[in-house]
Amino acid sequence: MGTLSSPAGSGIPGRTAPTPRRTLAVVIDAPQQLRLMQLDLPRPGDDEIVVDIEWSGISTGTERLLWSGRMPSFPGMGYPLVPGYESVGRVAYAGPDAGFALGERVFVPGARCFGEVRGLFGGAASRLVVPASRVVRCGAAVGESAVLLALAATARHALGTTDNAPPDLIVGHGVLGRLLARLSLVRGGAPPVVWESNPARREGAQGYEAVDPAADSRRDYRAIYDVSGDAALLDGLIERLAPGGEVVLAGFYSEPLTFRFAPAFMREARIRVAAEWRENDLADVRLLVETGCLSLDGLITHRAEATQAADAYRTAFDDPACLKMVLDWRACQ
Percentage of residues in the chain having pLDDT higher than 90: 80
- Which pLDDT value is given to residue 20? 54
- Which pLDDT value is given to residue 12? 44
Q: Which of the pair, 65 or 8, is modelled with greater confidence?
A: 65
Q: How far is it, in rounded angstroms, from Cα 27 to Cα 178?
A: 29
User: Is the pLDDT assigned to residue 19 strictly greater than 80?
Assistant: no
Peptide bond into 121 cis (omega under 30): yes
Q: How far is it, in rounded angstroms, from Cα 243 to Cα 315?
A: 42
Per-residue model confidence as pLDDT tens digits over 217-229: 999 999 999 999 9
Q: Are 229 and 250 in contact (CB under 8 A)?
A: no
Q: Comparing 63-67, 199-203, 318-322, 329-333, which segment has the lowest mean pLDDT?
A: 63-67
Q: How far is it, in rounded angstroms, from Cα 286 to Cα 218?
A: 35
Q: How far is it, in rounded angstroms, from Cα 120 to Cα 128?
A: 13
Q: Which of the pair, 24 or 3, is modelled with greater confidence?
A: 24
Q: Comparing 10-19, 136-145, 169-178, 311-320, which segment has the lowest mean pLDDT?
A: 10-19
User: Is the pLDDT assigned to residue 4 strictly greater than 50?
Assistant: no
Q: How far is it, in rounded angstroms, from Cα 148 to Cα 275?
A: 18
The number of C-alpha atoms within 13 Å of 24 and in the hemisphere containing its C-beta is 21
Per-residue model confidence as pLDDT tens digits over 259-287: 999 999 999 999 999 988 999 999 999 99
Distance of CA 35 to the CA centre of its chain: 21
Q: Which of the pair, 73 or 135, is modelled with greater confidence?
A: 135
- Which pLDDT value is given to residue 6? 38
Per-residue model confidence as pLDDT tens digits over 240-259: 999 999 999 999 888 899 99
- Which pLDDT value is given to residue 130? 97
- Which pLDDT value is given to residue 73? 76
User: Is the pLDDT assigned to residue 239 strictly greater than 70?
Assistant: yes
- Which pLDDT value is given to residue 236? 98
What is the average per-residue pLDDT within 26-30? 95
User: What is this structure's pTM?
Assistant: 0.90
State the CB neighbour count (10 A cutoff) for residue 8: 7
- Which pLDDT value is given to residue 61? 86
Q: How far is it, in rounded angstroms, from Cα 170 to Cα 176?
A: 10
